Amino acid sequence: MNNERYNELIEKLNKHLYADRTGRSVSPKSSGRDRLSLSDNLLITKDLQKEQSDKMALHLINTLNERKSLNEKIKTEQVIQRVNKYLTLMRYKYAEVEKLKRLHILSDYYSSMKEQSSTENLSIGIEVSEKLSVGLILPLKVRGIFLSEGRPAKRFYSSIELRKAVSNPINQKFPIMLDHRDNEVSAMVGAVDKLEYDSGIKGIRWWGHINDETFARNVMDGIITDVSATIFAKDVYDASLGKIGVDLTFKELSLVVNGAEPLNLIEVDR
């Protein structure tokens, strides 16, 4: 049915609907064009049913599309939540891996430092007052020259490293012991209390005390004349100086029978 014919039928239908609402009727004398035939009624009814069916179908399609859009939105949110959770887990994983890498690097560093570091026992001479130990007051205060620039044993110690060692917090206090028995508490007889670098002698002066009466009297009487220091250092090789000790730390100073460095000095601090 073409549009012109369809519009004509709609116009007739509207007239009949108007007549129904107002209580009037279409005059029998009206033009035949104003009267609806049975076939016209059928066509109009069919078109109205089709239009209603189309509207229902369109409504159903819109409803389905809305539900589909809602489902897709829910699925999208679920996917985003899963992705965020995965990213969180991966960030945690990589953070832990990074921590392990750093710990491994630190472990390797300290292992290499341990391999480069070595221990050297350095003996130095002691000079004490000739006066016998009369009127001993404990602790006995002692002082002297701890270490000077040079090679007292295997390593060469420079004045620069000696100056650095004095300011090292680890070296501010360490024990005076017997014969390097550094694993025995009973071998501790005193302590080194203070260090100072003396540029005039290019060496370290030190002050300390001895608590044990026997060894304090032996020092005062000149029976014990030597001490030996345990020095931790990293070994560096120089073309002209050979093995050089750097980053010095002093573990202990021991009273010994024979020392290796006669140039150093210690005396009772009065």
Q: Beta-strand (E) ranges in 22-164?
A: 117-125, 140-148
Which ranges in 117-173 belong to alpha helices (H)?
Answer: 159-167
Exposure string for 59-79, b = 16+ CB within 10 A, e = fewer: eeeeeeeeeeeeeeeeeeeee
| pLDDT of res. 168 | 92
State how far the Cα of 140 lies from the Cα of 133, in Å rounded to an integer.
Answer: 10
**How far, in Å, CA of 114 to CA of 166, rounded?**
22
Greater model confidence, 101 or 207: 207
Would the pLDDT of 36 be above 80? no
pLDDT surpasses 50 at 89 = yes
Question: How sure is the predictor about 245, in pLDDT bands with cuts at 50, 70 and 90?
Answer: very high
Q: Distance between CA 191 and CA 174 in Å, rounded?
A: 6
Work out the average pLDDT over 122-132. Answer: 51
**pLDDT digits 0-9 by tens, 158-179:** 999 999 999 999 999 999 989 9
Report the pLDDT value the prediction gives residue 71, as an integer from 0 to 100.
76
Range from 3-12, 142-151, 162-171 carrying the lowest mean pLDDT: 3-12
Please check whether residue 49 is in contact with residue 76, taking contact to mean a CB–CB distance below 8 angstroms. no
pLDDT band at residue 261, thresholds of 50, 70 and 90? confident
Please count the other Cβ atoms lying within 10 Å of the Cβ belonging to residue 266. Answer: 24
pLDDT at 102 over 90: no
pLDDT on residue 189? 92
Give dist(CA 117, CA 232) in Å, integer: 7
Distances (CA, A) of 197 to 83, 258, 259: 63, 25, 22
Classify residue 225 as exposed, middle or buried by CB count within 10 Å of its CB (0-12, 13-18, 19+): middle
What backbone torsions phi and psi does residue 49 show, to the nearest 5 degrees?
-65, -40
Predicted pLDDT of residue 85: 76
Q: List the single range of 64-68, 150-154, 227-231 with lowest mean pLDDT.
A: 64-68
Question: Which pLDDT score is estimated for 253?
Answer: 85
Per the CB < 8 A criterion, the answer to whether 123 and 252 are in contact is no
Q: Please state whether the predicted TM-score (pTM) of the whole model is above 0.85.
A: no
Task: Give the domains, in start order, of the chain with CATH numbers.
Answer: 119-268 (3.20.16)
Strand partners, 204: 147, 197
pLDDT mean across residues, the chain: 76
Most confident of 97-111, 194-208, 224-238: 194-208
User: CA 149, CA 153: separation in Å to the nearest integer?
Assistant: 12
Enumerate residues 6+ apart whose C-beta is below 8 A from 167: none
CA-based nearest residue to 153, from 236, 225, 257, 229: 229
41 has a pLDDT exceeding 90: no
Peptide bond into 139 cis (omega under 30): yes
Confidence category of residue 8, pLDDT binned at 50, 70, 90: low
pLDDT > 70? residue 46: no
CB neighbour burial string for 230-265, b if at least 16 within 10 angstroms, e if fewer: bbebeebeeeeeeebbbebebbbbbbbeebbbeebb
Q: Find the mean pLDDT for residues 206-234.
A: 88
**pLDDT tops 50 at residue 28:** no
